Chains A and B, each alone.
Chain A
C-alpha cells in the first residue's frame, strides 16, 4: 500500500557526473564525498530495516557544506539539474527522514556546528544546526545556562534534525519541546533561496502576531521542504537541582491513575512523568540489571522528574511524595531512581538482545513506534498495540514485545507520547517478515487514530506502513500539504518519496487519497 504515489527512480550516472562537476565550482574537493563508505554510512539510521536492501537507500554522493550560502549553492545546483537532495543531521530519527529513497545528494550539516552568538542578556544562543545539544550545553554550563531540548538521542542528535522532525523532549512538560525552544532559523528552500523564519521578523522574538506563523511549517517536515542551517535558541538557567523518584505498583491500573494524579498536581518544577506498563516491567526484570532483583509484585512503575532551584524542587517533590502515599505507591529507592533517569537521556547507546519463544537469546535491534494519545485513551491504545505485536510474535521469532512507556507531553497531562518498544531480529528480517512489520505499523497507527490520537508525538509518520494513514489523520490538511510542497519544491528534489508527497505532482489524486482514507 505504501508505494502508492511514489516511484523508485534513481539518478543516472551521467547526471551524477554533471552534479559533481558543478559542485566543484562551489565546494572544496574535501567537501564532496563519493566513496562507498562515505555514502553507505550516510544511508544508516537506527530504525531496523531489511539489511539486504541497504543498497536501495544509498546516496550517489554526500557534501559537507560549512555555511548557509554553501548549502544554498548546493541546493540551487540540484534544483537546476533536478537531482534529489536529502538533508542529514544526526541521522537518529526513527521514521527514515534522513534516508535517501532515490539516491542523489546527502547534505550532511555536521560541519556547521559553531556557536555564532551567545546573548547573555536576552538569554539566547545562535548556532549552526550541525551542533549537538550535549556539546552545546557543555559550553553553556560555563555561563550557568542550559538549552533543555532532551531527546532519548541527546548525546548524538543535532539541532537541525530536531527542527526537521519537530522533536519531542523528555523534559518538555517543564521547558517545552523543540518547537517552543527554537525561536527562529535560517532555512534554504528547495530552489536554493534563503529564508529567515520565526515569529514575525524572527531573530530573538518569542511571540509575534505579525503575519502567518510560518515557523511551524518549516519544522517537522522531515527534510521535504528544505534545510535549516542556523538557529536561535531560547536558554534557561541550568537547574540547581534534579529529583527523579521511581514508584512501583502491583498493577498497571494503579500506576496509570497515579501518573494522572502527578501530572494534574500543577507543580511548577514538574518536568515529566513516565508510566511503565506490565510488559515493560517484565522485559526489564528479564534483561535489565537494575530490575532483575525487583520482587515479583513490582508489576508497573511510574517515575517523575523535577528540575529547578533546590528549594522549589524540594517543596514540589514533597507534594508528589504525598500524592504517592495517597495512591499506595512504593518508592523504589534512590539508586534505581537516579540511575534509571540518568540513563533515559541516552537510550541509543544500549546494547540489546531479545528472546526466541523458547527463551534463547538472539541479537535484536530496538525499534519504537509512537503516537500522541490523550490520557483517558492510553490504556485502550496500550492493549490494542500489545495485541498487534502478540500476533506478530505468534507467527515469528523475529519480533519481541519489549513493553510500553507513556511519557507526558505537556505540563497539564492532557496527552502522552505513547510508545511500544519492539525488538527486531534484523538478521532474519527478510521480505516476508518486513511485510508483516509494515502491516503491523499500519495497524498500530490505525489504533492510535481510532482512539482520537495522532500517529506520532515524536518520530514523525513518513515511514512505510504508518504513512498510508497520514491523509486520513490530516484530512483536508493533507491536500494543503500537497499544495505547499508543489509550490515550494516545483521539481520535487527535496527528499523525494517521503510522506506520499509525490502525489503533489500527479494531477488529480482525489481517488487515490479517498482509497487511503478508507483503509480498514
Chain B
C-alpha cells in the first residue's frame, strides 16, 4: 500500500485491450469507461483492493483444482510428449 492516498487511488495509465476493454494493472481488464456513463456509475477503487480481488480469484481457482484432483496435467506437457515421445 502506498503512503499517499492519491497514489493508492490512482491506477496505472490504462492501455487499450480491445474496442470495448482496457487494462490497468497487469492482467486486470476493465470495461471501457465510456461505456459506463448512463446506467452503471463508476467509483474510486483503491489499487490494493483491485489487486486483492484479482489474487483472490486466482486463489479460488487454484483451490478448486485441488478440491477435485490431487494434480493437474497440462496440455503443453502432453503436446511435448506427442511431438517428442522420447
* Interface SS majority for chain A: mixed
**Residue B1 at the A interface, CB < 8 A?**
no
Q: Kindly provide the distance from the CB of A164 to the nearest chain B CB, expressed in whole angstroms.
A: 24
CB within 8 Å for A321 and B72 given contacts A292-B18, A292-B21, A293-B17: no
CB within 8 Å for A243 and B65 given contacts A321-B79, A360-B37: no
What residue of chain A has the Cβ atom nearest to residue B22's Cβ?
A292
Q: Are A241 and B61 in contact (CB under 8 A)?
A: no
**Residue B4 at the A interface, CB < 8 A?**
no
What residue of chain A has the Cβ atom nearest to residue B20's Cβ?
A286
A310 to B61, CA, bound (A): 20
Q: Are A339 and B31 in contact (CB under 8 A)?
A: no
Hey, what's the 0/1 contact readout for A286-307 against B, CB within 8 Å counting as 1? 1101001100000000000001
Q: Are B78 and A314 in contact (CB under 8 A)?
A: yes
Query: What are the residues of chain A within 8 A of B27 when measuring CB–CB?
Result: 289
Please pick, from B17, B28, B39, B68, the residue contacting A361 in the complex, using a CB distance under 8 A. Answer: B39
Query: What are the residues of chain A within 8 A of B39 when measuring CB–CB?
Result: 356, 360-363
Hey, what's the 0/1 contact readout for B9-48 against A, CB within 8 Å counting as 1? 0000000011011000001110100011111100000000
CB within 8 Å for A353 and B72 given contacts A338-B61, A359-B20: no
A 268-321 contacts with B by CB, 8 A: 285-287, 289, 292-293, 307, 310, 313-314, 317-318, 321
**Residue A322 at the B interface, CB < 8 A?**
yes
Query: What are the residues of chain A within 8 A of B62 when measuring CB–CB?
Result: 342
A257 to B62, CA, bound (A): 31
Hey, what's the 0/1 contact readout for A439-462 against B, CB within 8 Å counting as 1? 000000000000000000000000
B contact residues, range: 20 to 34
Q: Are B76 and A240 in contact (CB under 8 A)?
A: no
Please pick, from B21, B37, B68, the residue contacting A345 in the complex, using a CB distance under 8 A. Answer: B68
Q: Are A242 and B40 in contact (CB under 8 A)?
A: no
A137 to B66, CA, bound (A): 12
A contact residues, range: 35 or more
A36 to B75, CA, bound (A): 52
Q: Kindly provide the distance from the CB of B26 to the nearest chain A CB, expressed in whole angstroms.
A: 12
Query: What are the residues of chain B within 8 A of A345 when measuring CB–CB?
Result: 64, 68
Q: Are A238 and B69 in contact (CB under 8 A)?
A: yes
**Residue B70 at the A interface, CB < 8 A?**
yes
Q: Kindly provide the distance from the CB of B56 to the nearest chain A CB, expressed in whole angstroms.
A: 11
A318 to B73, CA, bound (A): 11
**Residue B67 at the A interface, CB < 8 A?**
yes
Please pick, from A313, A314, A346, the residue contacting B64 in the complex, using a CB distance under 8 A. Answer: A346
CB within 8 Å for A146 and B68 given contacts A321-B79, A338-B61: yes
**Residue B2 at the A interface, CB < 8 A?**
no
A55 to B11, CA, bound (A): 43
**Residue A5 at the B interface, CB < 8 A?**
no
**Residue B6 at the A interface, CB < 8 A?**
no
Query: What are the residues of chain B within 8 A of A150 when measuring CB–CB?
Result: 68
Query: What are the residues of chain B within 8 A of A286 when measuring CB–CB?
Result: 18, 20-21
Q: Are A243 and B82 in contact (CB under 8 A)?
A: no
Q: Are A338 and B81 in contact (CB under 8 A)?
A: no
Q: Are B73 and A241 in contact (CB under 8 A)?
A: yes
20 pairs of residues in contact across A and B, judged by CB atoms under 8 Å: A137-B67, A239-B68, A242-B65, A242-B69, A243-B74, A286-B18, A289-B29, A292-B21, A292-B29, A317-B78, A318-B82, A321-B78, A322-B82, A333-B75, A333-B76, A339-B61, A356-B39, A360-B38, A361-B31, A362-B40
